[in-house]
Amino acid sequence: MKTVIHKAETRGHANHGWLDSYHTFSFAGYYEPYRVHFGLLRVLNDDVVKGGMGFGQHPHDNMEIVSIPLRGALEHRDNTGGHAIIKSGEVQIMSAGSGIAHSEKNASASEEVNFLQIWVFPKERNIQPRYEQRVFAKADRVNKLQTVVSPGKENGALWINQDAWFSLADISQGTSLEYTLRKKGSGVYVFVIEGTVTIGTQALNKRDGLGIYDTEGFVMEANQDTEVLLMEVPMNGIER
């Protein structure tokens, strides 16, 4: 098993006043040549947006974009006519495909929203743009993996245009949980949302990330009540 560790305090950071953003991988003004991506996982941003503020309409193409609110709510609009509010407990995916323009704004005028913005390189280019979101019950991830994104919509997961699987888990203190990779040649990026967890000899704290590859699986042991996001993606195949 091979690993790459990204401690929370080593992430890129940009505070624009209305937006306070931490970048696990190179993004915007933050660039580190050894932290451009993990396999086909390109962006993992931890964003806090002040009330009444947000990202104005801007374009994307040929990228799978997943948003996971941790607290608060986001208002989504796009040029296909899509309009929705996404809240904590929901997951949103947008296939930018051949091209889409969208805005993401804090749905509240006073409360902050904290969300994860994640980009994955697509499997097929220039597909028809699409948008989807879904509620995922927290009770269904207690001491087990809850698949929220997959290439096959398994168990109600959101479809992604890539051989990728996103899973959430709430692991109770002292509990171990095993992850088995779905596809040979893939890797898993583990991101700790809250709590602390140990994988092998590596202890991970809140907002730490660990990329794991060249293995068939691994075990996570929670040192306290812990919430984790696991993103399994192909480790090669980028053609840009």
Lowest-confidence range among 15-24, 66-75, 81-90, 169-178?
81-90
Give the model's pLDDT for residue 159.
97
Number of domains in the chain: 2
Domain that holds residue 34: 12-135
Q: How many angstroms separate the CA atoms of 152 and 102, rounded? A: 25
Residue 228 token pair: 């984790």
> Does 94 share its domain with 154?
no
Biggest distance spanned by C-alpha atoms of the chain: 49
> Does 155 share its domain with 91?
no
- The predicted-structure confidence for 167-187, as pLDDT tens digits, reads as follows 999 999 999 999 999 999 999
> Does 149 share its domain with 124?
no
pLDDT at 79 over 90: no
Closest CA to 182 of 224, 152, 227: 152
Last residue of a domain, one of 115, 135, 155: 135
Q: How many angstroms separate the CA atoms of 184 and 186, rounded? A: 6
Phi/psi at 116 (nearest 5 deg)?
-95, 130
Residue 191 token pair: 């991101």
- The predicted-structure confidence for 131-145, as pLDDT tens digits, reads as follows 999 999 999 999 999
Closest CA to 191 of 225, 226, 152, 159: 226
Please tell me whether the overall predicted TM-score, pTM, comes out greater than 0.75 for this model: yes
Residue 71 token pair: 């607290």
CATH code (residue 69): 2.60.120.10
